[in-house]
Chain A
Amino acid sequence: EAGVVQSPRYKIIEKKQPVAFWCNPISGHNTLYWYLQNLGQGPELLIRYENEEAVDDSQLPKDRFSAERLKGVDSTLKIQPAELGDSAVYLCASSLNRGTYEQYFGPGTRLTVT
């Protein structure tokens, strides 16, 4: 069974440029999470989807960040415009449903903003 797939794995952009990250969860997993992981810290939740509905986006900086999960499968996280402080690893995770607790993580996208 394929795991959570993320692309790209690495991205370097200049500040003020847009960037997008893509995530394909494990087949059949209804819940999808985007996390931000700063260097030397644990992941912090940005947004959680139950199928195609964003049910917890309280930590998503909505002035520059946006996300979507079309048809309740793949998801895209976008930053526009990027700032230097956005340099971090963006992790995607999925779980069968919210009650199963066990989350499966993708390898992450390491973003560097110069």
Chain B
Amino acid sequence: AQSVTQLGSHVSVSEGALVLLRCNYSSSVPPYLFWYVQYPNQGLQLLLKYTSAATLVKGINGFEAEFKKSETSFHLTKPSAHMSDAAEYFCAVSVESNDMRFGAGTRLTVKP
């Protein structure tokens, strides 16, 4: 069965610094990969998704992620962190229209 592992339950960056949130997946067939963001007391919002087209995927709020099959990774990046980026981020995988499996999440803190 497919799964994802998010490395680092907490990440702290300064405002304006690079954001890097790590996600590795496990799947025996080509996966579909997603990043979701969750603000306090809210549901999950889709940031971006990889569905076997371009390996570099651009999402909302300046985020992007690169699918690397050789490394089984789908890391999320943003060149310059903003205070409003502070939230919980979830990586998820789906295979052949099966349901999504979510990682445990990474809490991003942005320091002024």
On A, residues with C-beta under 8 Å from B are: 4, 6, 9, 33, 40-45, 48, 56, 91, 93, 98-99, 101-108, 110
Of all chain A residues, which has the CB nearest B103? A42
Complex contact A44–B102 (CB within 8 A) = yes
Kindly state the separation between the CA atoms of A91 and B44 in the bound complex, as whole angstroms: 9
B49 near A101 with CB under 8 A, answer: yes
Chain B: interface size category:
20 to 34
A-chain residues with CB within 8 Å of residue B32 when the two chains form the complex: 101
**What distance in Å separates the Cβ of B17 from its nearest Cβ neighbour in chain A?**
25
How near does chain A come to B36, taking the closest CB pair, in angstroms?
8
B97 partner residues in chain A, CB cutoff 8 A: 98-99, 101
A–B complex contacts, Cβ < 8 Å, 22 sampled: A41-B105, A42-B102, A42-B104, A42-B105, A43-B44, A43-B102, A44-B102, A56-B99, A91-B43, A98-B97, A101-B32, A101-B34, A101-B94, A102-B46, A102-B49, A103-B46, A103-B100, A104-B46, A105-B44, A106-B43, A107-B42, A108-B41
Measured between beta carbons, the chain A residues less than 8 angstroms from B51 are 101
| Residues in chain B near residue A93, CB distance under 8 A | 43-44
CA distance A99 to B45 in the complex (A): 19
How many angstroms from the CA of A104 to the CA of B97 in the assembled complex? 16
Bound-complex Cα distance A105 to B36 (A) = 10
For the complex formed, measure the closest distance between the CB of A23 and the CB atoms of chain B, giving whole angstroms. Answer: 11
Q: Chain A residues near B67 (CB, 8 Å)?
A: none
CA distance A102 to B94 in the complex (A): 10
Q: Which residues from chain A contact B36 at a C-beta distance below 8 Å?
A: 105
